[in-house]
Structure 1
Amino acid sequence: MASILFCFLGSLLLLQALEVRSKSMERIVNGKQAAEGQFPYIVFLRVLLNDSCLSCGGSIIANDWILTAAHCTQRAQRVIIYYGSIEIAKAQVVVEVQASSIIQHPKYDRTVLTNDISLIHSKWVDFNDRIQRIALPKPKQVGESFDAQWSLVAGWGSTFDYKLVAIPELLQWASLHITPKHWCKVAYPHITENDLCAGSPYRQSSCAGDSGGPLVLIKENIIVGVTSHGHGLGCRYGFPGVYIRVSKYLDWIRENSNVTS
């Protein structure tokens, strides 16, 4: 437990380094506890830096590829990937990779978190009922907004802003409504066409989800977003969160991983 807590301290240091408008997402607020096998495509990432570590989420998009956020991997020396359980300590498979296995988007900008997306090349992991991939959007969906559709996020982050004692032992999840871009721009003037926003009228954390974790469209069960950042005031005040729009990066994903769907 001490090593996990240390990783979250590292995450909070990253939060404080960003501008007040835009903080990395490190928690599910007002969420629900996941059941085993409910989110077989999500993995827990322990990102080891030179002198600390970060805790993030990631998504399985192939037997040997993980999709996550670039701000999770930007200074990584190694990454430990935990597959196949809602409880980190009971992971079915644990894989450790070196920095050479990380492919970060070349145009990632840490100041405003644009192009906040990375790939991690893992060893081959066999699928089962607890370990599965999540489908990518189809190429024809590149221009689709997904506005007003319902989605799911999940993660192991703190359940209250900045309170380490609230870190859950088990995976938490929430339902979020994808927010029209013009509403999102009110809270985040810096967002681009490569971002989307999602929030909840019930304050199930308008910036819910661990950094790097998936935003999954309920209707089609495809990953439409990678959890990037939330409002600087915190996750309990009704602001939507910002997610990297996966459909805009399909060519980049294919070119670097050969994953196409």
Structure 2
Amino acid sequence: MKVLVVFSLAFVYVSASVHQDQPEIYHHNELQDISNVEIINGHDASPGQFPYQVRLFIKKSKEYFGCSGSLINHNWVLTAAHCTYGSDFVVALLGGIENSDFRAKFLIKPKYIIIHEDYDDNDVLNEISLIRIPYIKYSRYIKPVNLPKIQRYYKTYVGFKAIATGWGRTSNASNSSPEILQYGTVKIINNKKCSDTFDNINICTFASNISICNGDSGGPLVILPSKVQVGIASFVSKGCSNPNGFTRVTSFLKWIKRHTGLPL
């Protein structure tokens, strides 16, 4: 049984299109009013260790919840579609690992969010979304993640070790998020081993004692040692157990290029 990494909520779809003007951005100074929703058995990240990691707070109707994303260039953040689906706005925080040390904070309106046009909220298909942010300068603490290059054929990545990162719950019973960004090393496994658990498989990971959980949605799965992002945290087994399901980034590289103009 698969479960969305954040609790699935039913909301009206908000159409998102990219405009040539700059997004209407508001610096958000009231994060203490946003309720947080870690990687289970993860480790504390160090400042600058994952400079591509973006923390997201999403408002849907009267509720707030947390997700993650990855910076892919000066203007774009990559995340899961169910994080932004039906959102009223998204708060994006960059350049930090703790709640108090983010170097950039932006509030993004829905018109600057692109959800895959064929996203299926019920079957978790085409689970990918883009958020346009103002131009952000790179530094030790803010750098884009590497994406795969568009090719005719792609590796399955089976057997590869990878790192998952996020601020989600540290256990299924927890009701709060960690103070510091968490990370854990997992192994990418053959999709056939996941077929009994997940109906729609993109990329699957397993680790004996490490798992993503609620609040880790949208976070990057980065293979080692190349540090290329191949997955986007999408869903987990019931109880935040293994295996974990991720959107396969290589399946959407042309879509990403079409909307962002990145030279992939």
Task: Give the shorter-chain TM-score range.
Answer: 0.7 to 0.9
1:230 equivalenced with 2:236 (yes/no): yes
1:67 is aligned with what amino acid? L
State the 1:209 CA deviation: 7.2
Query: Counterpart of 1:34?
Result: 45
- Take 1:43 and 1:228, find their aligned partners in 2: how far apart are those partners? 16
The 1:111–1:144 alpha-carbon spacing in structure 2 relative to 1, beyond 3 Å, is same
| Structure with the higher helix share, 1 or 2 | 1
The one of 152, 161, 168 aligned to 2:178:
168
- Take 1:46 and 1:206, find their aligned partners in 2: how far apart are those partners? 17
Q: Deviations over 1:147-178 (max 9, x none)?
A: 0100001111110104114x210001000100
1:220 equivalenced with 2:226 (yes/no): yes
The one of 53, 63, 74 aligned to 1:63:
74
State the 1:187 CA deviation: 1.6
Query: Counterpart of 1:249?
Result: 252
- Take 2:221 and 2:259, find their aligned partners in 1: how far apart are those partners? 21
2:118 is aligned with what amino acid? K
State the 1:140 CA deviation: 2.3
The 1:196–1:28 alpha-carbon spacing in structure 2 relative to 1, beyond 3 Å, is same
State the 1:53 CA deviation: 1.4
Query: Counterpart of 2:261?
Result: 258
Q: Which runs of structure 2 are paired with 1:5-20 in the superposition (5 Å)?
A: none
Scaled by the length of structure 2, the TM-score of the pair is 0.84
Q: Which runs of structure 2 are paired with 1:99-178 in the superposition (5 Å)?
A: 99-140=110-151, 142-165=153-176, 167-178=177-188
User: Are the counterparts in 2 of residues 30 and 159 from structure 1 also a CA contact under 8 Å?
Assistant: yes
1:38 is aligned with what amino acid? Q
Q: Deviations over 1:61-92 (max 9, x none)?
A: 00110000000000111111100010122100
1:168 is aligned with what amino acid? P
Scaled by the length of structure 1, the TM-score of the pair is 0.85
1:47 equivalenced with 2:58 (yes/no): yes
- Take 2:153 and 2:112, find their aligned partners in 1: how far apart are those partners? 27
- Take 1:79 and 1:142, find their aligned partners in 2: how far apart are those partners? 35
For structure 2, which runs of at least 5 residues remain unmatched after alignment? 1-29
SS in 1 for 2:184: strand
1:243 is aligned with what amino acid? F
User: Are the counterparts in 1 of residues 44 and 181 from structure 2 also a CA contact under 8 Å?
Assistant: yes
- Take 2:88 and 2:63, find their aligned partners in 1: how far apart are those partners? 10
Query: Counterpart of 1:23?
Result: none
- Take 1:222 and 1:196, find their aligned partners in 2: how far apart are those partners? 14
- Take 1:228 and 1:206, find their aligned partners in 2: how far apart are those partners? 9
SS in 1 for 2:195: helix
The one of 196, 206, 211 aligned to 1:205:
211
User: Are the counterparts in 2 of residues 200 and 206 from structure 1 also a CA contact under 8 Å?
Assistant: no
User: Are the counterparts in 2 of residues 206 and 240 from structure 1 also a CA contact under 8 Å?
Assistant: no
Corresponding pairs, count: 235
SS in 2 for 1:215: strand
The 1:223–1:253 alpha-carbon spacing in structure 2 relative to 1, beyond 3 Å, is same
- Take 1:61 and 1:46, find their aligned partners in 2: how far apart are those partners? 18
User: Are the counterparts in 2 of residues 215 and 224 from structure 1 also a CA contact under 8 Å?
Assistant: yes
The 1:114–1:27 alpha-carbon spacing in structure 2 relative to 1, beyond 3 Å, is farther
Q: Percent identity among equivalent residues?
A: 31
- Take 2:103 and 2:40, find their aligned partners in 1: how far apart are those partners? 26
Query: Counterpart of 1:15?
Result: none
The 1:70–1:144 alpha-carbon spacing in structure 2 relative to 1, beyond 3 Å, is same
The one of 171, 193, 197 aligned to 1:183:
193
Query: Counterpart of 1:18?
Result: none
